Amino acid sequence: MLKLTYSSLLVGLALAGASSVFAAPADTDKLAVQDQLPSQTATEYPRPPGWDKLPQGEFGEKVLRGYKNFVNTQTLSPQYVGNGLNCVNCHTDAGRKENSAPLWAAYMSYPVFRAKNNRINSFEERLQGCFQFSMNGSPPDYGSEALIDLSAYAYWLAQGTLTGKDFDPKDMEVPSDEDLLKGGLREDFPFMKAYLDKGGSKEPALPGRAYPETPTTALAPDIARGKVVFEQECSLCHGANGEGQQVNNRYVFPPLWGPDTYNWGAGMQRVNTAAAFIKHNMPLGQPNKLTDQQAWDVAMYLDTRDRPQDPRNKGNVAETRKEFHGKTSYYGTEVDGKILGSESFPNHPNKPK
């Protein structure tokens, strides 16, 4: 396999279009001259604001901290982050890109009932879910600064769904921390009327939300075919064993399986979710390059490789599968003579508790 050097890697990234990541201004004082909005192509999707719309003062600082933690989650407490990933790895363009589970759509979709834990979830609870499973960590407590900052960032990004490009940060209502953490899908949300007037929906299904499902294909997903796709389209960046690639101890290409990635409770370990993410986002910078069949096959290949244990496992894989995993998960099923989940990596692999 071709081994990447750092410079070829940067060239590769530039070619792949990865430079579109929404970079924060280095210095908040320079905001006025730094509008970092990527090219504003007209789309049917609500548009999140650019940095020129960052409110001044304490709330703006929360937004900026939330952004920084989102793109560089590794700098948060190792309690919260038990693997090598950053939120942005799965919510691309700093959580701004439609069809990549964008934060602006997410913010306007909570509180909502989730079958995953069988109760109504606030926005902060949904954030905790990604910490526990996608980040393989112990989630920050309710009301903690990390959750407030991330919620502030999401709320600010959602202003585009409420007021379009004419949104003026000076007029933005600044919710209390307690209100902020609940999410925007509620009668007493300060902007609900304006939101509905702009064509917003009370249903948690905004255009561009989550990852659009990849249609099922004539052939059922297949590991052997998926391995071929992986070797041809993915391993150059993600490594021959899905281990990712690091430069100076930081992943530039995130791991797909093994001890340092999402665990057996994460959304991405469901084959349909991985197929949807991959179809619209991978190979990097080439959305929709794969056929639907290739996306399903490679998703199955990834999601039958071992990874950190499901943190809900109390010692019995079969019971954990029965209680928490549907037919879109391979956890607890037999692949290559082994029950997946029976010898998984521990939670919080390399991090002190």
CA 349 to chain centre: 21
Count, residues near ligand HEC per rule CB under 6 A: 51
Q: Which C-beta is closer to ligand HEC: that of 219 or that of 318? A: 219
Decide: is 340 part of the binding site for ligand HEC (CB under 6 A): no
Cα–Cα distance list, 74 to 156, 244, 251, 311, 351 (Å): 23, 15, 10, 20, 11
| Torsion 333-335-337-342 (CA) sign | negative
Q: How far is the CB of 188 from ligand HEC (least distance, A)?
A: 20
* Cβ atoms within 10 Å, residue 79: 15
Token pair, residue 21, equals 């990541």
Binding mask 128-167 for ligand HEC (x = CB under 6 A): --xx--xx--------------x-----------------
Pairing outcome for strands 250-253 and 245-247: antiparallel
CA distance 269 to 300: 9
**CB of 49 or CB of 95, closer to ligand HEC:** 95
Say if residue 115 is exposed, middle or buried (CB neighbours under 10 Å; 0-12, 13-18, 19+).
exposed
Q: Which residues between 230 and 259 bind ligand HEC (CB under 6 A)?
A: 233-234, 236-238, 253-256
Q: Does residue number 90 form part of the binding site for ligand HEC (CB under 6 A)?
A: yes
- Binding residue for ligand HEC, selected from 258, 267, 332, 341, defined by CB under 6 A: 267
When the beta carbons of 206 and 317 are compared against ligand HEC, the nearer one is 206
The CB-of-121 to ligand HEC minimum distance in angstroms stands at 9
Rounded Cα distance, 298 and 196, in Å: 40
Query: Which residues of the chain form contacts with ligand HEC (CB under 6 A)?
Result: 12, 16, 18, 70, 73, 85, 87-92, 101, 103, 105-106, 109, 126-127, 130-131, 134-135, 150, 209-211, 233-234, 236-238, 253-256, 261-262, 266-268, 273-274, 277-278, 282-284, 290, 298, 302
